[in-house]
Copies of this chain bind each other. A is one copy, B any other.
Amino acid sequence: MMERNLSVVLARRPVGEPREDDFRFVEGEVPEPREGEVLLRTRWLSLDPYMRGRMSAARSYAPPLEIGEVIVGATVSEVVRSRNDAFPEGTLVLANAGWQRYAISDGRDLRALDPTLGPPTYALGILGMPGQTAYCALFDIGRPRPGETVVVSAATGAVGSVAGQLAKIAGCRVVGVAGGPEKCRYAVDELGYDACIDRRAEDLDAALARHCPDGIDVYFDNTAGAILEAVLRRLNVGARMLLVGLIEHYNATEPPKGPYLGPLLVARARIEGFLVRDHLAHTPAFLRHVGGLVKAGRLRYREHVVDGLENAPRAFIGLLRGENFGKVLVRV
Contact = CB atoms under 8 A, between A and B. Distances in A.
Interface string A298-332: 11111100100110111111011110111111111
A274 B242 contact: yes
A118 B126 CA distance: 61
A184 B271 CA distance: 26
A145 interface: no
A182 B99 CA distance: 58
Contacts of A48: 319, 328
A1 interface: no
Contacts of A125: 301, 303, 327, 329
A158 B299 CA distance: 12
A165 B300 contact: yes
Nearest to A239: B269
A269 B332 contact: no
Contacts of A236: 267, 269
A154 to B, nearest CB: 8
B298 A45 contact: no
A104 to B, nearest CB: 16
A240, A270, A287, A298 — which one has the most chain B CB atoms within 10 A of its CB?
Answer: A270
Interface string A26-57: 00000000000000001111111101100000
A257 B225 CA distance: 11
Contacts of A274: 133, 136-137, 140-141, 242-244, 265, 268
A84 interface: no
A271 B261 contact: yes
A127 B276 CA distance: 13
A305 to B, nearest CB: 8
B264 A273 contact: yes
A275 B61 contact: yes
Contacts of A8: 309, 312-313
Contact of A286 (B46, B52, B132): B132
Contacts of A161: 300-302, 326
Nearest to A323: B179
A268 B273 contact: yes
Contact of A179 (B44, B71, B322, B327): B322
Interface of A: 6, 8, 17-20, 22-23, 25, 42-49, 51-52, 61, 71, 75, 99-101, 117-118, 121-122, 124-127, 129-133, 135-137, 140-141, 154, 156-158, 161-162, 165-166, 169, 179, 182-183, 186, 190-192, 224, 228-229, 232-233, 235-244, 247, 250-251, 256-261, 263-280, 282-283, 286-287, 289-291, 293-295, 298-303, 306, 309-310, 312-317, 319-322, 324-332
